[in-house]
Amino acid sequence: MYLETINGPEDVKKLDIGQLEQLAGEMREALLKRLSFHGGHFGPNFGMVEATIALHYVFDSPRDKFVFDVSHQSYCHKMLTGRREAYLEKEHYDDVSGYSDPSESQHDFFNIGHTSTSVSLASGLVKARDLKGDKENVIAIIGDGSLSGGEALEGIDFASELDSNFIILVNDNDMSIAENHGGLYKNLRALRESGGTCECNLFRAMGLDYVYLGEGNEIGKLIELFHRVKDIDHPIVVHINTIKGKGYVPAEKNKEDWHWCMPFDINTGAPAAAFEAEDYADLTCEFLLEKMKRDPMVTTVVAAVPTNIGFTEEKRREAGRQFVDVGIAEEHGIAFCSGIAKNGGKPVFATHSSFMQRTYDQLSQDLCVNRNPATILVNTASVYGMNDITHLGIYDIAMMSNIPNLVYLAPTNSEEYFAMLDWSIEQTEHPVAIRIPCNGVVHSKEIVDTDYSVLNRYQVVQKGSGTAVLALGDFFQLGEEVAAAISQKTGTSPTLINPRYITGLDEELLKRLTEDHAFVVTLEDGILNGGFGEKIARFYGSSNMKVFNYGLKKEFLDRYAVEDVMKDNHLTPDLILQDLGF
């Protein structure tokens, strides 16, 4: 087995083409085993095996610097740079993250997890290299799905202003997470079909030199190509055509489903565990499909992550022209929805909390300055969401809730969520964002309000005295526990409040609380800084009310256990009661 002998790129260089091809097979086998057990990004890594081998064969990492876009395709790079054990031995599977990480290896230069960043980051490496007078190669490796992102296009446009070595490897597999969207993909197809020769060329139109290779999974040809561009004295795009999921039949056949996988059975490709539980993705999809059927002006808009709200290929087809995937282009997505709403449409945009970060200015300028009534669904916005440092969903309250004119709602259960969503779609006054709960689908038998147009009216769920617990969104259930514990411990029933509105204060209610409450506890599923609780603390700042804010510390967490983070932040009934002195 060659893979076991690879301690670094120098060992890759010792092999001949035949041996490298064998190595590629071994790497795929290791990937398959690990992914079937552990889950992770499948298609992107299977497609890049040969290119990664060839890169390490030709270039001299870490002197030559690779920057992987999204870096969800960097597993093979990790295998070849001293981290093979994490792909060969079960007990080491968790030694590495799913993304590039400088703390793991000197062969990684950035923590990267969002798309479309590699060209800009790498161009900075180029600039500093030139200022120092160094001569190494800088190589950005970007998949075609990432090309539609504004940052990537800005970076590619800028790259031509650099007049020194810079290699932009475009890994074209004709796929984003789902199918690609946007006009540039027609050009990539024309380039593939003409073997890179067609005159109209996006990259040349952006001022860059260009070279093409159709056989992006052939090691020999890749090595030859990379030798040709190594030490080049100007920026060049190297466009290669690879097969996403290459080498595993189910993944080659069904590229979208195999972009990322849960643990599965290698023989059948079937998931190892069945998930029968209700989830908000499917529920949201069903709800929106129903709305769209009844009203042709309702439009669902996503940015390359359609299944996050349940829109599988089949459901997308069912929604027809009322469903739009703008590709990886959140900036465009939000401005597009503002335009739809301005012209009488009822747009619903959905993406991850972490990806909402790509569209702050559009939220502020295009949408909220203009007060257009678009609906935004923010998902995995929670400590219970994704736990990689680059995909955390705990910053959106701080980022979004301080933008004027936005109404940001935090439902506490399924019935309330869909009532809010329904209201938001039908109202015409405000841009509205809704934080989809992330602590499982909780049902309530209470009657929920259907009208949220009188803003910032909190709901008193339980009227008590002494202490008031304001439990926001999916920390409401924690709030119920805290309230119960207070009752039990003190014999006095506290007030329990569902604030519902993240973006404003129910000043009347808050004032009333001062009459028979001495303590206010706030709970929110996000960082405290810039969040909901601090506004409550400011409100009571000059009063006698004692305010205790609970939420998360401002920090970048990485691959955490939820339980640990909750304890660290005193987010348990016991610790909260201790703090209160009960």
Instruction: Give the pair of three-digit tokens for residue 26.
Output: 């071994």
Residue 338 touching a second copy (CB under 8 A): yes
Find the part of the chain contacting a second copy (CB under 8 A) among 27-35, 222-230, 275-283, 367-375: 367-375
Whichever of 154 and 290 has its CB closer to a second copy, that residue is: 154
Beta bridge partners of 498: 459
Whichever of 477 and 529 has its CB closer to a second copy, that residue is: 529
Instruction: Give alpha helix (H) positions in 165-211.
Output: 184-193, 202-205
Residue 151 touching a second copy (CB under 8 A): yes
Whichever of 118 and 217 has its CB closer to a second copy, that residue is: 118
- How far apart (Å, rounded) are the C-alpha atoms in residues 518 and 317? 56
**In the complex, minimum distance from the CB of residue 220 to a second copy, in angstroms, rounded to a whole number:** 31
Q: Binding residues for a second copy, how many (CB under 8 A)? A: 116
Judged by CB under 8 A, which of 48, 86, 121, 434 binds a second copy?
121
Per-residue DSSP letters for 509-528?
HHHHHHHHEEEEEEEEEEES
**In the complex, minimum distance from the CB of residue 120 to a second copy, in angstroms, rounded to a whole number:** 3
Give, as one character, the DSSP assignment of residue 90: G
Phi-psi region of 398 (alpha: psi -120 to 50; beta: other; left: phi over 0): alpha
**In the complex, minimum distance from the CB of residue 411 to a second copy, in angstroms, rounded to a whole number:** 22
Whichever of 31 and 156 has its CB closer to a second copy, that residue is: 156
Residue 366 touching a second copy (CB under 8 A): yes
Residue 116 burial (CB count, 10 A): 25
Handedness of CA 494, 495, 498, 501 (dihedral sign): negative
Handedness of CA 47, 49, 50, 54 (dihedral sign): positive
- Do the Cβ atoms of 283 and 277 come closer than 8 Å? no
Taking the mean position of all CA atoms in its chain, how far away is CA 177? Answer: 12
Whichever of 56 and 114 has its CB closer to a second copy, that residue is: 114
**In the complex, minimum distance from the CB of residue 409 to a second copy, in angstroms, rounded to a whole number:** 17
**In the complex, minimum distance from the CB of residue 219 to a second copy, in angstroms, rounded to a whole number:** 29
Which 14-73 positions form the footprint of a second copy (CB under 8 A)?
65
Tell me the pairing of strands 517-527 and 466-471: parallel
Find the part of the chain contacting a second copy (CB under 8 A) among 9-17, 270-278, 295-303, 433-441: 295-303
Which 128-147 positions form the footprint of a second copy (CB under 8 A)?
128-132
Three-state secondary structure call for residue 402: coil
Q: Quickly tell me which residue has 């952006």 as its tokens.
A: 206
Whichever of 206 and 243 has its CB closer to a second copy, that residue is: 206
Comparing C-alpha atoms, which of 285, 277, 287, 275 is closest to residue 415? 287
Comparing C-alpha atoms, which of 427, 445, 510, 440 is closest to residue 474? 440
Residue 187 touching a second copy (CB under 8 A): yes
Judged by CB under 8 A, which of 167, 169, 285, 335 binds a second copy?
335
Which 511-530 positions form the footprint of a second copy (CB under 8 A)?
527-530
Residue 320 touching a second copy (CB under 8 A): no
Phi, psi dihedral angles at 138 (to 5 degrees) = -120, 125
Which 246-265 positions form the footprint of a second copy (CB under 8 A)?
none
Beta bridge partners of 127: none
Whichever of 347 and 473 has its CB closer to a second copy, that residue is: 347
Find the part of the chain contacting a second copy (CB under 8 A) among 3-11, 152-160, 168-176, 443-451: 152-160
Residue 74 touching a second copy (CB under 8 A): no
Whichever of 12 and 112 has its CB closer to a second copy, that residue is: 112
Which 461-520 positions form the footprint of a second copy (CB under 8 A)?
none
Whichever of 187 and 487 has its CB closer to a second copy, that residue is: 187
Whichever of 54 and 202 has its CB closer to a second copy, that residue is: 202
Whichever of 54 and 341 has its CB closer to a second copy, that residue is: 341
**In the complex, minimum distance from the CB of residue 302 to a second copy, in angstroms, rounded to a whole number:** 13
Q: Which residues contact 38 (CB under 8 A, 6 or more apart)?
A: 93, 263
Q: Which residues of 48-62 are buried (b: 16+ CB within 10 A; e: fewer)?
A: bbbbbbbbbbbbebb
Judged by CB under 8 A, which of 282, 546, 568, 569 binds a second copy?
546
62 prior amide bond cis, ω within 30: yes
Judged by CB under 8 A, which of 343, 443, 451, 454 binds a second copy?
343
The mark string for 397-436 relative to a second copy (x by CB under 8 A, - otherwise) is -xx-xxxxx-------------------------------
Judged by CB under 8 A, which of 22, 254, 312, 370 binds a second copy?
370
Residue 198 burial (CB count, 10 A): 14
Comparing C-alpha atoms, which of 175, 196, 152, 230 is closest to residue 48? 175
* Strand segments (E) across 335-450: 346-352, 375-379, 407-409, 432-435
Judged by CB under 8 A, which of 16, 183, 274, 277 binds a second copy?
183
- How far apart (Å, rounded) are the C-alpha atoms in residues 206 and 156? 7
Judged by CB under 8 A, which of 29, 39, 92, 120 binds a second copy?
120
Whichever of 159 and 223 has its CB closer to a second copy, that residue is: 159
Judged by CB under 8 A, which of 342, 457, 512, 570 binds a second copy?
342
Q: Quickly tell me which residue has 């992330």 as its tokens.
A: 438
Q: Which residues contact 314 (CB under 8 A, 6 or more apart)?
A: none
Judged by CB under 8 A, which of 331, 416, 474, 480 binds a second copy?
331
Instruction: Give the pair of three-digit tokens for residue 443.
Output: 């049902």
Residue 160 touching a second copy (CB under 8 A): yes
